[in-house]
Amino acid sequence: MTFKTLDDADLNGKRALVRVDFNVPLRREEGADGQVRDDTRLRAAVPTIEKLRAGGAKVILLAHFDRPKGKFVPEMSLAPIAPALAKVLGHPVAFAGDCVGKEAAEAVAALKPGDVLLLENVRFYPGEEKNDPAFARALAESGDLYVNDAFSAAHRAHASTEGLAHLLPAYAGEQMRLELTALDKALGHPQRPVLGIVGGSKVSSKLDLLRNLVTKLDKLAIGGGMANTFLYAQGHDVGASYCEKEMAETAREIIRLAGQNNCKLFLPLDIVVAEKMAPGAPARVRGLGEVDEDERILDAGPETVERLCRAMANSNTLIWNGPLGVFEMPPFDKGTVEAARCAGNLAAEGKLVAVAGGGDTVAALNHAGCADQFTFVSTAGGAFLEWMEGKELPGVAALSKQNRR
């Protein structure tokens, strides 16, 4: 896919309409006054905003917050975001109480080159999620060019993520460019061999993902609760573990598909079990088939993790989604932490292109203290998963030169 970046744009004096993801957590307790609890997504937008400002553009930011379902909901206003962004930018950020119409137009008209304006929640209008052409045209009136910097919303064909790209000269923002470049290195045009790690609890929620990956990867390791389903499908007793027993035949189908596509599948060799899932609960390492009926599988065993680290060392590219165990609850975080640190060290040494994504994955890497060692960590949830599933993302496709109307 070919798309234009800000390096291709004439920015001087132009009104740049920028789709960002400012769907951030706010403090709601008394006295907090809607303060931003985590400014990660605000900081991610800084490179694009600063590049536009340096080029002499007027920066107009579009974003959604929560799910107002096409109605004005005061507690879902983006108003508290403007001062938080100004603090991160070190530059004033104006706010308009609407994203279209007279109030938006007046706020845009007041801008000078280098100024930054945040418009109100685009989801206050039903036309946003319906990708209504009239609403997209109303948004487009505020801009001379369109910049999409919200990969995390790129799997939605909404007016501000897809429709606008067909109405104005469209460019990928800096964060979007980084994301697409990293994902292309991981799965589009990777250095082989490529190893995938997929964890999490349910096979049923990641069927499309697994079916796609076994046709693309050289090696695939399955961990977390979904590994229990695969073990059960192979005839191993999983005791009182979480297991989608009704998915056993599907698991066997994926095993067969992996074999047909020469994708080596890594399932646990040993596991860590406990009678109850609680912090500090007594944990034991078991071999396959040694699980008592009252025991739960809660982590990957040391032999499994050691083999996984060897597989990483013998790969050139790693793509990771999902933890290997209940990482939020020591001692069942050990497998995920050790594997993550192994990947991080290899990436830091330049021996592995390591790309990870998904909410639980990011939290697990942060817990292991190695997220900054990975080549790229995507904070996008649904968009990252749909990309791994091989699905077209409307917001990305709309940026492609071949898809322009």
pLDDT at position 305 is 98
Catalytic option among 41, 156, 177, 219:
41
Domain check: are 292 and 146 in the same one?
no
For residue 28, pLDDT over 70 is answered with no
- Report yes or no on 114 lying in a domain: yes
Listed residue (105, 113, 103, 2) closest to 53, CA to CA = 113
Quick one: CA torsion of 397, 399, 401, 404, rounded to 10 degrees?
80
Domain check: are 146 and 253 in the same one?
no
Does the annotation mark 280 as catalytic? no
For residue 177, pLDDT over 80 is answered with yes
Cα–Cα dist 223/332, whole Å: 13
- Report yes or no on 219 lying in a domain: yes
Residue with the bigger pLDDT between 295 and 403: it is: 295
Q: Which of 31-45, 186-200, 204-218, 239-253 comes out lowest in average pLDDT?
A: 31-45
Does the annotation mark 199 as catalytic? no
Residue with the bigger pLDDT between 389 and 98: it is: 98
Q: How confident is the model at residue 151 (pLDDT cuts 50, 70, 90)?
A: very high
The structure tokens listed for 211 are 């079916």
Mean residue pLDDT across the chain: 93
Domain check: are 187 and 216 in the same one?
yes
Domain check: are 96 and 166 in the same one?
yes
Domain check: are 225 and 85 in the same one?
no
pLDDT at position 403 is 54
pLDDT at position 32 is 54
Catalytic option among 70, 382, 390, 391:
382
- Report yes or no on 118 lying in a domain: yes
- Report yes or no on 347 lying in a domain: yes
Cα–Cα dist 348/370, whole Å: 10
Catalytic option among 359, 381, 390, 391:
359
DSSP three-state, residue 400: strand
For residue 31, pLDDT over 60 is answered with no
Are 326 and 332 in contact by the 8 Å Cβ rule? The answer is yes
CATH number at residue 137: 3.40.50.1260
Domain check: are 116 and 190 in the same one?
no
- Report yes or no on 379 lying in a domain: no
Cα–Cα dist 297/239, whole Å: 8
pLDDT at position 52 is 98
pLDDT digits (tens, 9 = 90+) for 108-148: 999 999 999 999 999 999 999 999 999 999 999 999 999 99
pLDDT digits (tens, 9 = 90+) for 358-382: 878 988 999 999 999 999 998 787 8
Cα–Cα dist 125/159, whole Å: 10
Domain check: are 161 and 237 in the same one?
no
User: What residues make up the domain containing 32?
Assistant: 6-172+394-403
Domain check: are 218 and 345 in the same one?
yes
Catalytic option among 130, 202, 264, 284:
202
Domain check: are 280 and 369 in the same one?
yes
pLDDT at position 405 is 45
Where on the phi/psi map is residue 18: left (φ > 0), alpha (ψ -120 to 50), or beta? beta
Cα–Cα dist 345/51, whole Å: 32
* DSSP category for residue 148: E
- Report yes or no on 357 lying in a domain: yes
DSSP 295-330: -EEEEE-HHHHHHHHHHHHT-SEEEEES-SS-TTST
- Report yes or no on 323 lying in a domain: yes
- Report yes or no on 389 lying in a domain: no
Domain check: are 54 and 158 in the same one?
yes
Counting the structural domains of the chain, the total is 2
Domain check: are 222 and 87 in the same one?
no
Cα–Cα dist 399/354, whole Å: 26
Q: How confident is the model at residue 202 (pLDDT cuts 50, 70, 90)?
A: confident
Q: How confident is the model at residue 331 (pLDDT cuts 50, 70, 90)?
A: very high
Domain check: are 256 and 195 in the same one?
yes
pLDDT digits (tens, 9 = 90+) for 226-285: 999 999 999 999 999 999 999 999 999 999 999 999 999 999 999 999 999 999 899 999
Burial of 102 (0-12, 13-18, 19+ CB in 10 A): exposed
What's the mean pLDDT in 380-405? 81
Does the annotation mark 202 as catalytic? yes
For residue 404, pLDDT over 60 is answered with no
